[in-house]
Amino acid sequence: MRHLEPGVRRPRGFAAALALPVAAALTASLLVTAGPAQAKSTVVSEGSCKGSPSSTWKLKVAEESNGSLTVIAVVFSEDTDQWGWKLKHNDDVSAKGTVTARDADRSFRIVRSMLNFSGPDEVTFRAGNKDSDEVCRGDVTFFG
């Protein structure tokens, strides 16, 4: 800090004027720092399902602080039918199963953890209604 000559006074409010930018910088640095449970990067894709005018799907891939990927696939439907679903990671089946849409909004959600390979990760989701011709399919390429 520069010293002032004797008899020269700083303008009033000098400390307050200096404190505001310092406080703002500290607050901004706290907001930017990610907590341990927060995702580092996220990619989302969504669309409509074939064979139904009202069913939609959503696929979300997020990189977690530990380096793994969390994949969330959701289908919003207007029925309580049984659905077969499959998740692929770089063309290999990662998980599959059967689920019945039972929520109040007749949706279902699949959540899985995957390894984050070096280079791009291609995640594909497919769900087919076992009682109709509805098919929901989407993919996401994650560059993490």
> Do the domain assignments include residue 47?
yes
Mean pLDDT of 6-31: 46
Per-residue pLDDT averaged across 75-100, rounded?
94
Domain containing residue 110: 41-143
Across the range 92-99, mean pLDDT stands at 96
1 within some domain:
no
Number of structural domains (the chain) is 1
Q: Which residues contact 135 (CB under 8 A, 6 or more apart)?
A: 49, 50, 51, 126, 127, 128, 129
Does the predicted model carry a pTM greater than 0.75? no
Domain assignment present for residue 89? The answer is yes
Q: Is a pLDDT exceeding 90 seen at residue 121?
A: yes
pLDDT reported for residue 23: 43
- Cα dihedral 132, 61, 97, 135 in deg (nearest 10): 10
Whether residue 57 lies inside any domain: the answer is yes
Q: Which residues pair with 58 in a beta bridge?
A: 46, 74
* Structural domain includes residue 101: yes
Q: How confident is the model at residue 39 (pLDDT cuts 50, 70, 90)?
A: low
- Torsions phi, psi of 29, nearest 5? -65, -35
Q: What's the mean pLDDT in 81-97?
A: 96
Q: Is residue 98 part of a domain?
A: yes
